[in-house]
């Protein structure tokens, strides 16, 4: 009897539970045994799911009860010319998606941007947040509590930063609702996206604060962070990176490549992305930012749920005498080039394709460059989709490429 078969028998007898397999077997054998057990229980074959290339041992950092891997098609668009503060040059864009026409759309947008001399990209804010909530006695106690935090911020910073080799506490912003006090901690997490880093650092800080004040900690996260939920605070104050990408496209390039007059493209953007989004109560005033961001997140090992914050994007289009000005501003783009899923084999290769895997020199430069590249890719996607809508070619493209 093989080790795997023995483990399956122990699972069937109830001697072992699914989550206990790695305690008694190599992670790869544990995954095989767990998959075989699930196959027998569900009466299905998971042969393809069991054919994965990443290390089961390394994957323990990213998932529990591993049984295999899901494959999503990966395409490449570009290259796209980026003129950023951290990303400077020509970049291929790895895009992982099941939506036909998306890669072709981004590719067309890249060609328009390149014909206009590339996209200028800049980061305006950077910082990952965690916001615990405390209970206090009343409004007066809330005022005393906030004053204490302000007076002792350097001490709190020392406690928080003692938990990390790289993270830096940038600031603490208080918000009061009755007897609730939220402290929104903001950190520079260098090349990591940083959610784990800031959670551990903030836990140390809040324990110190609670032991030094009369406030009672209710939750380490009070949802004012805000992580993985639509939230105005991220759209306004930012989270991760607030980054803008823009381009001025000569009028003849707009008509030749997007098949639409500049004024029409501007009107589509105003009526669709601005008026339509406002009427819908949307936090995203864009055409398809989440499409591009999700595809690059999957390709490069980012936390895919944070596409929610990434789609806090505003697209602007302004006809000018020297060309059509188009921009995207991503208020809360949360990315990293170390940690999370960036170490998995395929995601690592995708980051290497962009030239941005691992820590940068200086620290943080790779993550910022990745944010700039994704912003440029988002701009390309917006240009192409607005052009397709303005020229009424959207349905035709999906019929031809969407399959």
Active site residue 398: yes
Active site residue 304: no
d(CA 294, CA 308): 9
Q: 3-class DSSP state for residue 94?
A: strand
Nearest to 142 by CA among 96, 176, 95, 103: 176
Tell me which H or E stretch contains 110. helix 102-115
Structure tokens at 39: 């196959």
CB under 8 Å to 361, separation ≥6 — which residues? none
CA distances, 98 to each of 35, 141, 370 (Å) = 25, 53, 22
d(CA 285, CA 257): 24
229: left (phi over 0), alpha (psi -120 to 50) or beta: beta
Which of 9, 88, 99, 263 does the annotation list as catalytic? 99
Residue 220 near residue 260, CB atoms below 8 Å: no
Residue 299 near residue 347, CB atoms below 8 Å: yes
CA end-to-end distance (rounded Å), the chain: 47
Active site residue 168: no
Which of 208, 251, 274, 398 does the annotation list as catalytic? 398
Helix 251-258 × helix 102-115 angle, to 10°: 160
Residue 95 near residue 75, CB atoms below 8 Å: yes
Residue 349, preceding peptide bond in cis (omega within 30° of 0): no
Residue 77 near residue 380, CB atoms below 8 Å: yes
Residue 67 near residue 31, CB atoms below 8 Å: yes
Question: Which of the 8 DSSP states describes residue 87?
Answer: -
d(CA 380, CA 377): 5
d(CA 348, CA 302): 11
Which of 191, 227, 303, 334 does the annotation list as catalytic? 303
What are the beta bridge partners of residue 125?
242
Query: What positions carry a catalytic annotation?
Result: 99, 303, 398
């Amino acid at each position: 009897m093989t080790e795997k078969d023995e483990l399956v028998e122990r699972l069937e007898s109830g001697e072992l539970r699914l989550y206990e397999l790695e305690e008694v077997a190599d992670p790869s054998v544990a995954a095989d045994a767990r998959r075989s057990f699930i196959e027998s229980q569900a009466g299905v074959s998971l042969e393809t799911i069991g054919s994965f290339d990443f290390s089961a041992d390394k994957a323990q950092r990213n998932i529990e009860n591993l049984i295999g891997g899901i494959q999503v098609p990966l395409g490449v668009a570009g290259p796209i010319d980026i003129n950023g503060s951290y990303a400077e040059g020509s970049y291929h864009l790895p895009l992982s998606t099941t939506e036909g026409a998306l890669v072709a759309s981004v590719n067309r947008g890249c060609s328009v941007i390149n014909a206009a001399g590339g996209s200028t990209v800049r980061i305006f804010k950077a910082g990952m947040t965690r916001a615990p909530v405390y209970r206090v006695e009343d409004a007066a106690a809330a005022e005393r509590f906030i004053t204490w935090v302000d007076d002792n911020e350097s001490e709190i910073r020392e406690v928080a930063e003692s938990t990390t080799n790289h993270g830096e506490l940038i600031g603490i912003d208080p918000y009061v609702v009755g007897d609730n006090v939220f402290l929104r901690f903001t950190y520079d997490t260098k090349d990591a996206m940083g959610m784990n880093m800031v959670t551990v650092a903030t836990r140390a800080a809040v324990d110190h604060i609670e032991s030094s004040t009369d406030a009672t900690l209710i939750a380490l996260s009070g949802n004012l962070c805000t992580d993985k939920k639509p939230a105005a605070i991220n759209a306004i104050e930012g989270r991760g990176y607030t980054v803008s990408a823009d381009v001025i496209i000569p009028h003849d390039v707009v008509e030749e490549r997007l098949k639409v007059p500049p004024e029409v493209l501007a009107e589509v953007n105003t009526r669709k992305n601005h008026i339509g989004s406002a009427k819908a109560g949307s936090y995203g005033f864009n055409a398809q930012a989440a499409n591009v961001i999700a595809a690059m997140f999957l390709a490069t090992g980012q936390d895919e749920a944070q596409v929610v914050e990434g789609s806090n994007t505003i697209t602007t289009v302004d006809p000018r005498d020297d060309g059509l000005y188009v921009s995207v501003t991503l208020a809360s783009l949360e990315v990293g080039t170390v940690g999370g899923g960036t170490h998995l084999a395929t995601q690592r290769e995708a980051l290497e394709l962009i030239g941005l895997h691992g820590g940068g020199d200086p620290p943080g430069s790779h993550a910022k460059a990745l944010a700039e590249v994704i912003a440029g890719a988002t701009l390309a996607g917006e240009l192409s989709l607005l052009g397709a809508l303005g020229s009424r070619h959207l349905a035709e493209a999906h019929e031809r490429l969407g399959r």
